[in-house]
């Protein structure tokens, strides 16, 4: 949902987004999720000169696979958004003035794509290694000390001339 900077009144603007099922399916595929049952966002847009500040939250329910048990699980994603969008020239010059400051985003054709912002923050909030609550990884135990990863090298070393006997 692109919003042009000139359409944001001086008093600000509030937008609520709810992703339709087709968009959620595409995003789920892109993010490697089993499913994306819910994706919503609330944004407040305020003018900042030729730019706009976008603040708000992204809320989602993501269906993933537990990395330990491989069972299906669902997790909540709640991400806070606080971005400043400026015209490209201003965004680049602000980096030169304050290189340690939070970098502003560049406006594209004078617009902010709120759908892209919501998708980006969803992606940032997804747990890359989801675990089902209470599931712990237990490394397999070697039955014999000869099964350790360097056992073959140790055996070869013993057979070489000058090696330990």
- Paired tokens of 74: 């669902």
38's enclosing H/E stretch is: strand 35-48
Please indicate whether residue 15 or residue 150 has the higher confidence score (pLDDT). Answer: 15
Instruction: Output the pLDDT for position 135.
Output: 74
Please indicate whether residue 81 or residue 159 has the higher confidence score (pLDDT). Answer: 81
Instruction: Output the pLDDT for position 98.
Output: 47
pTM above 0.85, yes or no: no
Quick count: other Cβ atoms within 10 Å of Cβ 161?
4
Quick count: other Cβ atoms within 10 Å of Cβ 37?
14
Indicate if the pLDDT at residue 47 is higher than 90. yes
Least confident of 35-44, 73-82, 156-165: 156-165
- Mean pLDDT calculated for residue range 95-115: 76
CA pair distance 102, 87, nearest whole angstrom: 16
Question: For the chain, what are the domain ranges?
Answer: 2-139
- Mean pLDDT calculated for residue range 135-164: 69
pLDDT band at 28 (very low <50, low <70, confident <90, very high): very high
**Tokens 């209470």, located at residue:** 134
pLDDT band at 1 (very low <50, low <70, confident <90, very high): confident
**Is 63 within 8 Å of 85 (Cβ atoms)?**
no
H helices of 53-113, where? 88-97
**Tokens 């000058």, located at residue:** 162
Of 44, 25, 47, 46, which is closest to residue 36 (Cα–Cα)? 25
CA pair distance 1, 115, nearest whole angstrom: 5
Instruction: Output the pLDDT for position 165.
Output: 55
Quick count: other Cβ atoms within 10 Å of Cβ 19?
20
63's enclosing H/E stretch is: strand 51-65
H helices of the chain, where? 21-31, 88-97, 114-125, 151-159
Percent of the chain scored above 90 by pLDDT?
55
CA pair distance 96, 94, nearest whole angstrom: 5
């Amino acid at each position: 949902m692109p919003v042009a900077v000139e359409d944001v009144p001086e008093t600000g603007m509030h937008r609520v987004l709810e992703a339709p099922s087709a968009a959620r399916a595409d995003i789920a595929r892109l993010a490697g999720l089993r499913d994306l049952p819910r994706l919503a966002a609330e944004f407040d847009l305020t003018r900042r000169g030729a730019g706009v500040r976008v603040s708000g939250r992204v809320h989602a329910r993501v269906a993933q696979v537990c990395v330990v048990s491989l069972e299906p699980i669902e997790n909540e994603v709640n991400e806070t958004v606080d971005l400043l969008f400026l015209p490209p020239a201003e965004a680049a010059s602000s980096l030169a003035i304050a290189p340690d400051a939070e970098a502003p985003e560049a406006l594209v054709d004078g617009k902010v794509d709120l759908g892209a912002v919501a998708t980006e923050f969803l992606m940032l909030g997804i747990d890359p290694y989801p675990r089902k609550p209470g599931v712990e990884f237990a490394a397999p135990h070697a039955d014999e000390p000869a099964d350790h990863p360097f056992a073959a090298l140790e055996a070869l070393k013993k057979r070489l001339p000058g090696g330990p006997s």
